[in-house]
Amino acid sequence: MKNFLRTIALLLCAVLMFSVFAACEDVSTNVNESNAGSESASVSDSNTSTEESKFDDTKGFYGYTGIPEGTDFGGREVSVLTLAQYQIQAESSPTYDPENMTVVGTAAAECTRLVEELLNIQIVEEGIATGSRYGGPFYKRVQNDAISDTADYAFIMPALTEAAMLASDGILYDLNKLVDLSQPWWCKEFNDAVTIAGKTYFASSDITTVSVASTMCIIFNKEIEKKYELAKGYGYDSLYAMVDDKAWTQDVMFEMSKKVYKDDNNDFICDPEDTCGISAQHNVIYWLLRSGGANVCTLDSEGYPALTVKTERNISLINKAQEFAQDPTGGMIIADDWKSESGSPAVQTFIDGRCLFLFNALSAMDTVRVMEDDFGVLPCPMFDDTQDNYTNNVGAWTSNCIAIPTSVHEEDLQLSVYLIEALAAVSRSKLTNTYFEQTLQYQISRDDDSMRMLDLIKENRVPDLSEMYRWGKMMQTIADLRKGALGTFVSAYDAIDEQTILEIEATVEGFKNNKN
């Protein structure tokens, strides 16, 4: 058990050390294989009281009342299959120090210990370290176990992309039949987004910390914002106030970027030697589509996905994003264009205090911790003020989730349910504040507004079915428009829409035949 606790603590700490590229797969070269997702104990809602909750009929186990008092599994060893970082055992990591665990790792280990004590079990993690996401070792292991009926784990934590493949194969249970997804430790927005025809084959809860770290956001340089009085130019005291008033839009971000951009080396391109407005990655147009509240596919009246991205609003959004990405005066620098073995020069511009916005995953907040300027965090901007909510895309390449394969025998399902619910419940109560404070600890001014923005981002993190299932490569096609001829989205769409529809229909047919 000690090895597991140290392992799970290390893996949770790894969330805070994700590469700045953690939110996406390089759509052309898969260069991010080294950023294979890691699994962690949990993360939770910071609005929940951290007061210790005792197990009783009223409160249950940290709010979870589904476990009968006196439940005892007799010290049974319980395995969990995870998609891990490259070091699985804590002691194999060159940075591991048993005397110097982070506060987040300590909290994670405590959550695991409490659940083990509650159920009288010993949890053993089996981690599969791989950069492959499509039919790789993790997928093959679960698939083979389902075929041979040899699974020996209570649940799995795959990347979203492989979870989608497993769901398509019909070898995951519908979690709606097993757990109460309305409980506060399950992420409603996330889980609604992955539900097909009322069935949720994989989900995100307060166990899946990596899912939070893989969520897109905007990190901004407070000193530059103050210098140019950017929020005041729109009649607001701060960018936070603009978010609150739903005035934080893509047009605003583009205009602010242009205002601060300076071609310092006079070479007529936005490069790492300039003062930049936005540092992003190749997927930026797709991220903007998602932050605009749009999906490549939406659900039809029966709850099945249908290709619906080609709307007047989405065409306008994509065309505007494409024009800005190629505007030499826009001030956007793309990390993929400036690769370096020593790091990302495009990200370094932000760290050096020469870039206003960093458009990346929450995990990037750890990367920028060394910067001297103070920084804050914002949700991804809306397309316009008519949008209902801020939408923060969750990268399917790195985000993890939780699922129970059908190879878990029926007599073991109750233990699986108790385990995932209890882990999530205790994590929601005991870990969120620790996790978020660790995320923000490198800010010069740890303001309440940034904590509030993190809550907003976490509660509105939404993955996209198209990115998970990769139908027709539509997601990559949209991302590639960054370098395509202006106004070519419609023609690019028309070239692959039939294949995309065929692949969606094949997936839908599989789900209709799935009785799990």
Per-residue pLDDT tens for 365-374? 888 888 899 9
- DSSP state letters, 306-334: EE----HHHHHHHHHHHHHHT-TTS-EEE
Comparison of pLDDT for 55 and 274, the residue scoring more: 274
Query: Dihedral of CA 174/175/176/179: which sign?
Result: positive
Comparison of pLDDT for 341 and 156, the residue scoring more: 156
**pLDDT band of 99, cuts 50, 70, 90:** low
Q: Which of 132-136, 189-193, 339-343 has the lowest mean pLDDT?
A: 339-343
Comparison of pLDDT for 16 and 58, the residue scoring more: 58
Per-residue pLDDT tens for 293-312? 999 999 999 999 999 999 99
**Mean of per-residue pLDDT scores for the chain:** 84
Q: 83 forms bridges with which residues in the sheet? A: 128
pLDDT value at residue 189: 94
Tokens 């910390």, located at residue? 209
Spatial distance between the Cα atoms of 404 and 169, rounded to a whole number of angstroms: 13
CA-derived radius of gyration, the chain? 22
Per-domain residue ranges of the chain: 2-213+396-441, 216-393+470-496
Please give the CATH number for the structural domain made up of 216-393+470-496. 3.40.190.10
Mean pLDDT to the nearest integer, 3-24: 42
Query: In sequence order, which ranges of 380-473 are alpha helices (DSSP H)?
Result: 413-430, 432-440, 448-459, 465-469
Q: Which of 191-205, 382-396, 431-445, 453-467 has the lowest mean pLDDT?
A: 431-445
For 488, list phi and psi in degrees, rounded to 5. Answer: -105, 10
Asked if pLDDT for residue 21 goes beyond 50, the answer is no
Asked if pLDDT for residue 335 goes beyond 80, the answer is yes
Q: Which helix (H) or strand (E) holds 162?
A: helix 160-168
Asked if pLDDT for residue 96 goes beyond 70, the answer is no
Whole-number percent of the chain with pLDDT over 70: 83
Per-residue pLDDT tens for 247-273? 999 999 999 999 999 998 998 888 888
Asked if pLDDT for residue 37 goes beyond 60, the answer is no
Asked if pLDDT for residue 13 goes beyond 60, the answer is no
Spatial distance between the Cα atoms of 375 and 357, rounded to a whole number of angstroms: 10
According to DSSP, residue 123 is labeled E
pLDDT value at residue 135: 77
Comparison of pLDDT for 39 and 385, the residue scoring more: 385
Spatial distance between the Cα atoms of 241 and 246, rounded to a whole number of angstroms: 9
Joined together, the tokens standing for residue 161 give 């992309």
Task: Give the pairing of strands 276-280 and 355-361.
Answer: parallel
Mean pLDDT to the nearest integer, 480-494: 95
Domain 2-213+396-441 and domain 216-393+470-496 have a common topology: yes
Q: 126 forms bridges with which residues in the sheet? A: 81
* Cβ neighbours of residue 296 closer than 8 Å, sequence gap 6 or more: 289, 307, 308, 309, 464, 465, 466, 467, 471, 474, 475, 478
Q: Does CATH number 3.90.650.10 belong to domain 2-213+396-441? A: no
Asked if pLDDT for residue 430 goes beyond 50, the answer is yes
276 with 282: CB under 8 angstroms? no
pLDDT value at residue 92: 39
Spatial distance between the Cα atoms of 411 and 409, rounded to a whole number of angstroms: 5
**pLDDT band of 176, cuts 50, 70, 90:** very high
Mean pLDDT to the nearest integer, 128-142: 82
pLDDT value at residue 42: 33
Q: Which of 60-69, 129-138, 347-356 has the lowest mean pLDDT?
A: 129-138
pLDDT value at residue 366: 80
pLDDT value at residue 264: 87
